[in-house]
Amino acid sequence: MKKRKQWLMLVCIALAICLVSGGMLYIRQKNYSKKWSLIYIPKTEDGTNDFWTSLISGTRMAALECGASLEILAPRREQDVEMQNRLLKKAIEKQPDAILFSPSSFDASDELLQEARDKGIKITFIDSYTEKNIQDLTVATDNLEAGKQLGEYARTLVNKDSKIAIVCHVKGVSTAVEREQGFREGLGDYNKNVVDVVYCNSQFDKAFQLTEELMEKYPDLEMIAGMNEYSSVGAARAVQKNGKEGQIQVIGVDSSQEAVQLMEKGVFKGIVVQKAFKMGYLGVTETVRMLQGKPYDENVDSGCQLVTPENMYSSEIEKLIFPFNVLGAD
């Protein structure tokens, strides 16, 4: 009788273990197969900007491959913080599983992002971030490193007496702050040669106008460094239109087909290219892994590469400057 009771107890324990294990397996399988709802709010969705076009394409491809639903909500202009916050509020009301966000301001969205977190919505930063550590994960270029690469290269093109101007995109945004800081670090003691810093609010025409003003203000200017596609290409257009290619060397961050053409024509001397498609793709895949309860990287550096007239036609560089899918370009 005693042995029978012991046997029954063992059977009950075994059944309980099976039920618990089976339940956990069911939950895990259900978690993995769920169609996750994602909303991505970039700084802009601008068909004239190859960086954002490529990055958003990366998010869409990843969502398709992961079986996730993805909605894009985007301002028309990159510096429109007010509109971005309106879209963020709209996204929170929709209660998605995660919001992917590219902040246009270093602090203006923190309150709304915290509200999203309080409602159980996961937050992924793509490309840029805010002052407070609100996000669950970040996928971005190491912007300090990108700026430093550009500054170190710039140093090889100028001398101790050369005058340098910087055309930034949006004042106070993390990408602009870090790239300028890295650029100055890369310049080393040539940092003292920076005579002016202007902000184009991520508008090609504004960058063009500001560059013309810089050329008038500093007739002996020898270099202009742009900190994103808008500022770099806008500056290069102005230098080319005014026939200053022989005097002013233009360098910058971000690639586009126009930037490549301007490099072929000798206007651009160097560009640090971000891996935009890869950034968007990993932003979605890492978010889905997080939602599934799988291991994921909280901080992902999507990488960047210095492109010059000397290396632009190598097979590795062509994957970057002649997109589209650059996942394998490491």
> Tens digit of pLDDT for each residue in 211-224?
999 999 999 999 99
Please, what's the b/e burial string for 133-166 (b: 16 or more CB within 10 A of its CB; e: otherwise)? Answer: ebbbbbbbbbbbbbbbbbbbbbbeebeeebbbbb
Average pLDDT, the chain: 90
In which element (H, E) is residue 282 found?
helix 276-292
pLDDT more than 70, % of the chain: 88
Confidence of residue 26 (pLDDT cuts 50, 70, 90): very low
pLDDT of residue 200: 97
> Tens digit of pLDDT for each residue in 39-76?
999 999 998 899 999 999 999 999 999 999 999 999 99
Could you tell me if 227 and 167 are in contact, meaning their C-beta atoms sit under 8 angstroms apart?
yes
pLDDT of 10 over the 60 cut? no
> Tens digit of pLDDT for each residue in 104-125?
999 999 999 999 999 999 999 9
Confidence of residue 15 (pLDDT cuts 50, 70, 90): low
Domains and CATH numbers, the chain: 36-141+276-302 (3.40.50.2300), 143-274 (3.40.50.2300)
Confidence of residue 316 (pLDDT cuts 50, 70, 90): confident
Could you tell me if 62 and 276 are in contact, meaning their C-beta atoms sit under 8 angstroms apart?
no
pLDDT of 18 over the 50 cut? no
> Tens digit of pLDDT for each residue in 131-179?
898 999 999 999 999 999 999 999 999 999 999 999 999 999 999 999 9
DSSP 8-state symbol, 96? -
CA-closest candidate to residue 274, choices 119, 139, 85: 139
Instruction: Provide the pairing of β-strand 137-140 with 163-168.
Output: unpaired
Confidence of residue 33 (pLDDT cuts 50, 70, 90): low
**Which residues have a Cβ under 8 Å from the Cβ of 134 and sit 6 or more positions away?**
110, 113, 114, 117, 123
